[in-house]
Amino acid sequence: MSDLPLHPDTIAVHAGRSDFGALGVHAAPIDLSSTNPLPDILHGGDSYESMANGGHPLPDGGNVYARLWNPTVARFEEALAELEHAEASVAFASGMAATTAAVLAHTTGAGKSHIVAVRPLYGGTDHLLASGLLGAEVTFCDEDAVAASIRPETGLVVLETPANPTLELADIAAVVAQAGDVPVMVDNTFATPLLQNPLDLGAAMSLHSATKYIGGHGDVIAGVIACSEETAAALRRVRAITGALLHPLGAYLLHRGLPTLPVRMQTQQAAARAIALRLKDNPAVLEVRYPEFDDTRGLIGRQMRGGGAMVAIRLAGGYAAAEAVTGAVRLFTHAVSLGGVDSLIQHPAALTHRPVAPEARPGADIVRLSIGLENVDDLIADLEQALVKAPAVATV
Ligand code: PLP
């Protein structure tokens, strides 16, 4: 690309296209080959060994096998790394596959077997860490207790900000300082690289469920981690061994969606902010959670460029109100997931955060809104007509 410093919206359009000129194409090719012709046994074998250990294909060795390397995936990774101010990124078949790889890469070997995880977290992440499935021991704690929770065998600190679904913010730089030498992974799904760059604040990894804003159209399940090249090699090694590569069609769609990510985020964020402000005055709403509202530490501006496009509301009528509102909306779709062009509503305690331990599970009076690209007045009208149908007070 250009030698000049570029703005993120320019990077979003042009990144990951460095080989287009040589290929003579203007749109990314989709390479669906599961296997590739080998130049000869020696070079093919050396290339295989390089990639199985997390390296790149050797210049004369070929890509060998798509579980190890795929050019369409690599182009998306190059683009995402650039947006996250990272040396590299590694794409996975889902956000959970990405988290799994990060845990395995940081807790197997070198005497590391323990993780510190700051709650609240996405329910699936909480479930994975609490399950013990990956062998690591996990200490869940508050943001302020990270330093006290670190042990000699701690290999990773996991943090999510803004947190799903309550939209609490954590101070990334402060957690990094508490973590000392232990690498911190920030789940940056809600903010996207357009609003927050955790690596600039000292985090070792920025993880995305690319299923959400990065894909943006509700048609891809994917995950990606931006990090140093050294960490990327460790993650690619786990990916190659466990088989968690993103499919090239998904990578193509993610790469195709990046150029519109800045305008999508700006428009969706502006609508979310307007909706959050409006709902503050609604009698059916006890509390509106939007990152900018309780930002006593000034993290919006210092850490995050805006509050994002997610809103959570606590309903005066509790669970019964949540049932009424999710059933009464017309434009919002009652569905899990988030970050797409169309607006979604869901009840975290019953769905995305169902597997979380009761003491850490979001309240039954909370519904989460993912604000899309529809006209904001239409979205407000839809929510207001649905909120009228909610019981005014909780019965349980
Ligand atoms: N992180 C966050 C904040 C999420 O909301 C999700 C999914 O909802 C994930 C991670 C997991 O991603 P995926 O569903 O792509 O595996």
Query: Is residue 33 in a domain?
Result: yes
CATH number of the domain enclosing 383: 3.90.1150.10
Q: Give the number of other Cβ atoms within 10 Å of residue 228's Cβ.
A: 15
The confidence score (pLDDT) of residue 349 equals: 94
Residues 232 and 302 occupy one common structural domain: no
Split into its structural domains, the chain has a count of 2
Residue 108 resides in a domain: yes
Please report the atom of ligand 1 found closest to the CA of residue 99. Answer: 10
Do 84 and 147 sit in the same domain of this protein?
yes
Q: How close is the Cα of 123 to the center of ligand 1, in Å?
A: 9
For the Cβ of 94 lying below 6 angstroms from any atom of ligand 1, the answer is yes
Q: Mark whether 60 and 161 lie in a shared domain.
A: yes
Q: Say if 395 falls within a structural domain.
A: no
CA of 119 to the centre of ligand 1 (A): 15
Residue 394: its pLDDT value, please?
79
Among protein residues, the one with the nearest Cα to ligand 1's atom 11 is 95
133 and 223 within one domain: yes
d(CA 211, ligand 1 centre) in Å:
7
Among candidate residues 260, 279, 312, the one where a domain is terminated: 260
31 and 62 co-located in one domain: yes
Q: Is the CB of 346 under 6 A from ligand 1?
A: no
Do 12 and 38 lie in one domain? The reply is yes
The pair phi, psi for residue 96, each rounded to 5°, is -70, -35
Are 185 and 229 in a shared domain? yes
User: Domain check: are 316 and 226 in the same one?
Assistant: no
Residue 236 lies in a domain: yes
Distance 118 CA to ligand 1 centre (A): 16
189 part of a folded domain:
yes
Among candidate residues 174, 81, 157, 83, the one with its CA nearest the CA of residue 121: 157
Q: Is residue 36 part of a domain?
A: yes
| 301 and 371 housed in the same domain | yes
| Per-residue tokens: 125 | 């992440």
Q: Determine whether the shortest distance from the Cβ of 189 to ligand 1 is under 6 A.
A: yes
246 and 269 inside one domain: no
Domain-terminating residue out of 214, 242, 260: 260
CA distance 228 to 234: 10
Looking at 220, 241, 260, the residue that finishes a domain is 260
pLDDT per residue rounded down to tens, the chain (396 residues):
667 889 999 999 999 999 999 999 999 999 999 999 999 999 999 999 999 999 999 998 899 999 999 999 999 999 999 999 999 999 999 999 999 999 999 999 889 999 999 999 999 999 999 999 999 999 999 999 999 999 999 999 999 999 999 999 999 999 999 999 999 999 999 999 999 999 999 999 999 999 999 999 999 999 999 999 999 999 999 999 999 999 999 999 999 999 999 999 999 999 999 999 999 999 999 999 999 998 999 999 999 999 999 999 999 999 999 999 999 999 999 999 999 999 999 999 999 989 999 998 999 999 999 999 999 999 999 999 999 999 888 775
376-387 vs 261-279: helix crossing angle, rounded to 10? 40
pLDDT of residue 243: 97
Q: Are 371 and 268 in contact (CB under 8 A)?
A: yes
150-170 b/e (C-beta count within 10 Å ≥ 16 → b): beeebbbbbbbbbbbbbbbbb
Indicate if 130 and 165 belong to the same structural domain.
yes
Indicate whether 81 belongs to any domain.
yes
Q: Is 3 inside a domain boundary? A: no
- For residue 1, the model assigns a pLDDT of 67
Protein residue whose Cα sits closest to atom 5 of ligand 1: 122
* Residue-number span of the structural domain to which 204 is assigned: 8-260
Same domain, 75 and 63: yes
Task: Supply the CATH number for residue 72's domain.
Answer: 3.40.640.10
- Tell me the pTM: 0.97
Ligand 1 pocket residue status of 221, Cβ below 6 Å: yes
Identify how many contiguous H helices and E strands the chain contains and give both numbers: 15, 12
User: What would the pLDDT profile of 285-332 be if each residue is shown by its tens digit?
Assistant: 999 999 999 899 999 999 999 999 999 999 999 999 999 999 999 999
